[in-house]
């Protein structure tokens, strides 16, 4: 009798923990709890990679220049912001609040896009 009682208690605790661990964290809550995320855009072979990046408001994007020439990251429409020169091997980061089309003002064919969801 006492053994069955103990076993029942252990099973109850096990089920309780299982529910607590699995039941209380939905994927949506995980996304909220994680807070702002950091994304990297590689500048490589005269291209922004990925060219198009979807983030959430407040996320940070880091551009890393892997080329052997200087690049920059500049808002395309009104030049509202710019990284200034990012030397070879350098990087620049920005917290993103809005969707932007951007380009490299030094090599105007280099274009990228950030979409805030």
Name the site residues for Cu ion (rule: CB under 5 A).
Answer: 71, 104, 106-107, 110
Supply the minimum distance, in Å, between the C-beta of residue 73 and Cu ion: 9
Supply the minimum distance, in Å, between the C-beta of residue 84 and Cu ion: 12
Nearer to Cu ion by Cβ, of 53 and 110: the residue is: 110
Supply the minimum distance, in Å, between the C-beta of residue 81 and Cu ion: 16
Q: What is the DSSP letter of 57?
A: T
Supply the minimum distance, in Å, between the C-beta of residue 116 and Cu ion: 24
In the block, which residue shows the tokens 């996320």? 59
- What stretch of H or E contains 33? helix 27-34
Spatial separation of the C-alpha atoms in residues 42 and 35, rounded to whole Å: 23
Nearer to Cu ion by Cβ, of 40 and 70: the residue is: 70
Q: Find out whether 105 and 72 touch, Cβ atoms under 8 Å.
A: yes
Range list of β-strands (E), 1-117 = 38-44, 47-49, 52-55, 60-65, 74-75, 91-95, 100-103, 111-116
Nearer to Cu ion by Cβ, of 75 and 116: the residue is: 75
């Amino acid at each position: 009798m006492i053994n069955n009682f103990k076993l029942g208690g252990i099973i109850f605790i096990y089920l309780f923990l299982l529910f607590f661990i699995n039941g209380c964290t939905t994927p949506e809550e995980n996304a909220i709890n994680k807070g702002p995320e950091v994304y990297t855009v590689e500048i490589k072979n005269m291209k922004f990679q990925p060219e198009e990046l979807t983030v959430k408001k407040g996320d940070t994007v880091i551009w890393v220049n892997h080329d052997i020439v200087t690049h920059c990251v500049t808002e395309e429409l009104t030049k509202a912001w710019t990284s200034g020169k990012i030397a070879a091997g350098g990087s620049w980061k920005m917290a993103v609040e809005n969707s932007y089309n951007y380009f490299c003002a030094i090599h105007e064919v280099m274009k990228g896009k950030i979409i805030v969801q």
